[in-house]
Structure 1
Amino acid sequence: MFNHYKKNKMKKYKSLLMSALLGSLVIFSGCREEFADLNSNPSDVVKAEPSYLFAQAVINFEPSGYTYWFYNAAMTYRWGQMGVPTTGFNSTYTETTATGEQGGQYISVLNYARDLEHLRSTMSKEESAKYANMAACIDVLTAYLGVFDSDMYGDRPFIDACRARYGGTLTPEYDKIETLYTLWLSMLDDAVKTLTTSTNQTFPTNQDVIYKGDASKWAKLANSLRLKIAVRLLAQNKAKALEIASTVANASCGVLDGTSDNFVFNKAKSVTANDGDKVYHWSNGFLQGTAPSQRVINFMIKNKDPRVRFFYQKNQWSSKVVQAFFDAGKDVPKYVLDNVVYTENGGKKTFVQWKGMGEPWVRYYGLPVEMNAQYDSNNADYFDSNRFKLTSTRSYQPFSMFQQEMIIGRIDFTLPTLPGDPVIQDTNDNPWYGMYMSTAEVNLYLAELKLLGANLPQSASTYFNKAIRASVEEYDRLASLNKIPYYGTTYGYDPNEVAIDLKSGEIDAMASNPDYQLTGDKASDLEKVYIQELLHFTLFPCDQFVTVRRSGCPKEGSTLIKWENFGSVVPNNAIPRRFEVGSPSPTDLMYDVLIKAYKSQGFTPGSNQSGTLLNSERVWQDKGAPQFGAGPAL
């Protein structure tokens, strides 16, 4: 929990971030930033070469930077009960802190779209046509970020934004999300047409670190991205959402389908004169106070879901640590001990082997979701840190945390070893690979929309089965690319340690479980699809929370992952469904525009707002969606 001083400091920081965002709306960026060395020579920037503008748009594409993960993610995981405060849930868990990314990520790419648009307007018609594909690709990136940024903040300045340098306004109006969804769908449709029909294009492959200038793959991404908008339209215009799904599924360009199509890339292999965060994402830790939900991890372990190993870190209780606690006469947490086979002779316990599923499965545990679970003596093994201590200076965390090296490439890992043993570390900095959209996400949406009535060529089960298999394969690949702890190695310290790599037959074993199969019962099948979307989005906090918000899952009374109703302590309608919007300063150039935009959306600006207010004053796309825990709307 933040103390009073820290909360005030965070609120001040939030205000500064908002001011920075609004200022960025009117700053020309096409030539102001240093370009990645692998893509351009900084001395050439003044020429505004189209391929350099495209390369810089890609470099600046960032839906989830450090402040997003440090502030926003901690809140959305808790509000959606997919994560738990390490101090447990209490009556104040819905309070907001500063929010990191203030809904303006799209600006950094939209600027380059405007720059390229202007540059092409100065060319002959024939010359301008050579850069149609580049412009279309930037539009795809801009639409992606626009959807992302509007999820938690609602209406955005877009149509008139970033045009001040070219004669536009310094105070762009906020556009309605309904209008923007229509606009972004049109942009994506135009992008697909351009990318599948244009000829004689100038598109150097070395400027495109995503698809190496392959227009067909960009077209698949543009087509697939329309599904992200479709599912967000379900509460407002279901017919339109289903129509979009049919159009996407039947488009000749296809959708993301397999490893080479997935929107996965890293921006650079090494740091030169540029910001290292472009290579490694960043270097600061995050989510130090948020752990996974016990219900989520138990569900994944029960169903032998290998992704639990890629989403979360092993706990620190290896067999050697267990034995050390035995030798010291100290208690081993019951939930750990339940997975241990040991002998006892003369009061001395000896570790023999792991029970049940064995390593690595027995190293993953989440925290209880129940309100005030930390005050229940039965949960002391989770919350009493004194029980984690082997000595006064060495402690071992028995529950898991989120896997940080799936998000950042510049962080050190220290193996949990015993006092007096050598320190074993992985201190290598690895260029970070991010996944932004994939085959699994596409097929989960298609399964959902098919169940809701979309006219699609395949069955919901076909899409669903493809999605869950693809999701495991995608995260196994990301774990390998990002060289996360225990992937491909046991470090040679504990003889009972097992690497976390995907093993032959594991996907089949997972998919054979009833919880991972559709049966033809619409309500049950829809919940299963939403649960898989929530799991797939474990490392996408905003997408995951949007799915919680629009689906009503986790659901109260569920046999899959159950939503905990905190009753009168924190009713479901007192949990925020969006982030706060700050009160603008009267001296702000955008003051009148902001006040008008907030009033139009029914938002009350301010800070320290109640969860009840942030639940009732919803963004447009969330109006009419199920309340938390209510389950899917059929």
Structure 2
Amino acid sequence: MKFTKYKFVLLATIGFLTASCEKQAFVDINTDPDVLTEIPPQNQFLQATSQIHGQDFEAYYDLYRRIMPWMQYTTDLNGNQGAFTQNFDNFSGRYGRLYNGIGDRLTDIEKLVEDLPAEEQPRYTNMIRIARILKAYYTFYVTDIYGAIPYSDAFQGRYGGTLTPEYDTQQEIFTQLDSQIKEAVSTLKASPTAPQISLGQYDQYFGGNAQKWIKAGNALRLKIAMRQLKVNKGPAETIIKEVLAMPATDLMSSNEDGWVFTAYAGFTAGGNWDPTSLRAPKPIVDFMWKTKDPRIDAFFTPNLFSQVNVDRLIAAGKLPAGTTAPERRYVGSFTSPDDAQRAVNIQRYYSPPQIVVNGQNVLIDTLSFIQPRLFRPAQADAQGNVGGGLNYIPVITYSDFAFMRAEAAARSITGESAKNWYEMGVTSSINWYDKVAVGSNLTNYTPVTQAEITAYLAMPEVAFDPSKAINQIASQAYLHFLKQPAEGWANWKRTGFPNPTSVVPMPTLTNNGAALTIARRAPIGLLNENDPNYLNKKAAYDAMLALPGFGNDLQDAKGRVWWDAP
């Protein structure tokens, strides 16, 4: 087969990506493989990564409106309201994208290579393994909140396979993924039999660097194993030990090894990416202010009580003469609806004074917001200047990897120093957010100094204490996952931290005095007897409903998937 001439334009197709729903995930797949014969395999890799990270609906519904307020990373403008944890409308489109836009395209790479002349195929050995690692990651990302999904029989419809695949259990999927990643890493480590075609610019993570993908694959194996510690302890510990026994050159060792998707500012310029209505949460802000966390201005914006605005309020007769700007301008919003609705809090925090500036009414807000350019670098500043920084969208950062190693050591799975890896996780997190803050052109940001990091590590709440090691490790991982809230949600389910009494507290949420329950999985669509795959779905769903804690019905998001056992 001969590929037509292809001019690569970086991320040119982003913005026209389509989302799929579960009911159409298989029937919408193109069943004609001939349409792919003129496409370079590496193009499908770029298209898949664009689909993974370019989902503005996922940002708006899954992150901004669901997971981030659930996990108290943010609140609504006036604090969290009502029974907000029960709202699942439009939640999670990741299932459909696995089969129509991501997994299918990564499968296409292998099929395209199979159609090449035999002498050309060995040149794509590494590309195929890299694609398998990425496919394993996204499959893990989907099963993580859905449980059983089609995998072994999936992605083959256009190549003569079934359009009604059987479902694999989550345990079966985890086992398959580990085996496939292990094989991919082993192959990438081996000397190739022919010069390799590099993904190059088609790979927005590592530019086709095989050694970086070895490290990413091993980090993914570690993460999947950590997920299983409650339900599959022995095999999970075996994998953890095996991964961490790999040569140091095959494991992440710095922020430069992090698995992070990097793109230009316009990648998240769409309106659904707009985070400007997301308040900073009081529990995190209070902790960061108290401990002098160097990341506070990377995470959040100061309120509007600058001395200039204080002087304006004085001139308007709304503050007494001589009032000075407060020392603390990072102030968080109440995460519990009952706290947000207290009259005293409404008056003090949610009723900002108003003044006229240049003929315009301006509210002098008492509360902080999340740093908008942390999630949307194109965001205009107060003067209307559009941002031009980079997007950094993490999959597995080095900090995440270090925290996993710290936890494995604290649980006596390995003989490593939990203290050393904990401090490495905290330090690398601070440095990573410093890099992101500068690269994303955050406003009101001051670069971090080593003295600030040293002082932070010495704070009583932060200095490593073996008696509360898991608490500290998980709490610091929770902070680090602000930019990756779905992983923060998963870590909370897995470890039980943070909680109301943890190092970084996550207070109980109440509405009208009743405690609110946070979702633990995606609601699953109801069965339809006219669905061509009805029998396979019913068998899988019946098996999941029999799992301890799965929930009262398929749509019970308070239930638990296999790895999240009670």
Q: TM-score, normalised by structure 2?
A: 0.86
Is the Cα–Cα contact under 8 Å of residues 50 and 116 in structure 1 kept in the other structure? yes
Taking a change above 3 Å as real, the CA distance of residues 441 and 568 of structure 1, as seen in their structure-2 partners, is: same
1:245 aligns with 2:234: no
- Counterpart in 2 of 1:49? 40
1:348 aligns with 2:340: no
Structure 2: distance between partners of 1:103 and 1:169: 21
Structure 2: distance between partners of 1:30 and 1:306: 52
Structure 2: distance between partners of 1:221 and 1:368: 38
1:404 aligns with 2:372: yes
- Counterpart in 2 of 1:535? 479
The 5-angstrom pairing of residues 344-493 of structure 1 reads 348-351=321-324, 354-355=326-327, 362-381=328-347, 383-385=349-351, 387-391=352-356, 393-414=361-382, 424-456=383-415, 458-487=416-445
Question: 1:225: how far off?
Answer: 1.1
Give the match's secondary structure for 2:255. Answer: coil
Question: 1:167: how far off?
Answer: 0.6
Q: Deviations over 1:181-218 (max 9, x none)?
A: 11111111011101110412222534333222221111
Structure 2: distance between partners of 1:231 and 1:501: 33
Question: 1:97: how far off?
Answer: 3.4
Query: Partner amino acid for 2:322?
Result: K
Q: Deviations over 1:267-291 (max 9, x none)?
A: 4x59xxxxx6xx3463434456542
Question: 1:256: how far off?
Answer: 1.6
Question: 1:473: how far off?
Answer: 0.6
Q: Deviations over 1:378-408 (max 9, x none)?
A: 31345533x3422483213221222231222
- Counterpart in 1 of 2:15? none
Taking a change above 3 Å as real, the CA distance of residues 18 and 292 of structure 1, as seen in their structure-2 partners, is: farther
- Counterpart in 2 of 1:597? 540
Is the Cα–Cα contact under 8 Å of residues 32 and 159 in structure 2 kept in the other structure? no
- Counterpart in 2 of 1:166? 159
The 5-angstrom pairing of residues 88-107 of structure 1 reads 88-104=79-95, 105-107=97-99
Q: Deviations over 1:308-349 (max 9, x none)?
A: 211222323322112212222225xxxxxxxxxxxxxxx522
Q: Aligned match of 1:147 in 134, 137, 140?
A: 140
Q: Aligned match of 2:61 in 58, 64, 71?
A: 71
Pairs aligned (count)? 535
Give the match's secondary structure for 2:394. Answer: strand
Taking a change above 3 Å as real, the CA distance of residues 364 and 168 of structure 1, as seen in their structure-2 partners, is: same
Query: Partner amino acid for 1:412?
Result: A
- Counterpart in 2 of 1:623? 565
Structure 1: distance between partners of 2:30 and 2:269: 24
- Counterpart in 1 of 2:30? 27
Structure 2: distance between partners of 1:363 and 1:383: 13
- Counterpart in 2 of 1:520? 466
- Counterpart in 2 of 1:203? 198
The 5-angstrom pairing of residues 291-302 of structure 1 reads 291-302=279-290
Is the Cα–Cα contact under 8 Å of residues 285 and 404 in structure 1 kept in the other structure? no
Question: 1:300: how far off?
Answer: 1.0
Q: Deviations over 1:60-102 (max 9, x none)?
A: 332x721122111222223333433333345512222323432
Taking a change above 3 Å as real, the CA distance of residues 388 and 503 of structure 1, as seen in their structure-2 partners, is: farther
Structure 2: distance between partners of 1:295 and 1:585: 44
Question: 1:535: how far off?
Answer: 0.4
Structure 1: distance between partners of 2:476 and 2:31: 41
Taking a change above 3 Å as real, the CA distance of residues 156 and 570 of structure 1, as seen in their structure-2 partners, is: farther
Structure 1: distance between partners of 2:220 and 2:474: 18
Taking a change above 3 Å as real, the CA distance of residues 186 and 379 of structure 1, as seen in their structure-2 partners, is: same
Give the fraction of aligned pairs with identical amino acids, expressed as a percent. 24
Taking a change above 3 Å as real, the CA distance of residues 173 and 396 of structure 1, as seen in their structure-2 partners, is: farther
Structure 2: distance between partners of 1:47 and 1:150: 32
Give the match's secondary structure for 1:183. Answer: helix
- Counterpart in 2 of 1:186? 179
Give the match's secondary structure for 1:349. Answer: coil
Structure 2: distance between partners of 1:51 and 1:290: 37
Taking a change above 3 Å as real, the CA distance of residues 587 and 412 of structure 1, as seen in their structure-2 partners, is: farther
Give the match's secondary structure for 1:112. Answer: helix
Is the Cα–Cα contact under 8 Å of residues 235 and 623 in structure 1 kept in the other structure? yes
Range with bigger deviation, 305-314 or 557-566: 557-566
Q: Deviations over 1:1-48 (max 9, x none)?
A: xxxxxxxxxxxxxx9844454545x3369897xxxxxxxxxxxx7423
Is the Cα–Cα contact under 8 Å of residues 336 and 511 in structure 2 kept in the other structure? no
Taking a change above 3 Å as real, the CA distance of residues 559 and 266 of structure 1, as seen in their structure-2 partners, is: closer
Is the Cα–Cα contact under 8 Å of residues 493 and 564 in structure 2 kept in the other structure? yes
Taking a change above 3 Å as real, the CA distance of residues 507 and 171 of structure 1, as seen in their structure-2 partners, is: same
Question: 1:566: how far off?
Answer: 3.7
Structure 2: distance between partners of 1:30 and 1:78: 43
Structure 1: distance between partners of 2:486 and 2:156: 28
Structure 2: distance between partners of 1:467 and 1:481: 21
Is the Cα–Cα contact under 8 Å of residues 326 and 348 in structure 1 kept in the other structure? yes
Question: 1:130: how far off?
Answer: 1.8
Give the match's secondary structure for 2:524. Answer: coil
Structure 2: distance between partners of 1:286 and 1:55: 24
Taking a change above 3 Å as real, the CA distance of residues 589 and 286 of structure 1, as seen in their structure-2 partners, is: farther
Structure 1: distance between partners of 2:275 and 2:435: 23
Give the match's secondary structure for 1:390. Answer: strand
Question: 1:605: how far off?
Answer: 9.4
Q: TM-score, normalised by structure 1?
A: 0.78
Range with bigger deviation, 279-288 or 136-145: 279-288
Range with bigger deviation, 209-218 or 370-379: 370-379
Is the Cα–Cα contact under 8 Å of residues 444 and 467 in structure 1 kept in the other structure? yes
Structure 2: distance between partners of 1:517 and 1:397: 34
Question: 1:451: how far off?
Answer: 1.0
Query: Partner amino acid for 2:363?
Result: S
Is the Cα–Cα contact under 8 Å of residues 31 and 159 in structure 2 kept in the other structure? no
1:81 aligns with 2:72: yes
The answer for unaligned runs of 5 or more in structure 1 is: 1-14, 33-44, 271-275, 332-346, 356-361, 415-423, 488-499, 625-634
Structure 1: distance between partners of 2:225 and 2:209: 26
1:261 aligns with 2:204: no
The 5-angstrom pairing of residues 219-234 of structure 1 reads 219-234=214-229
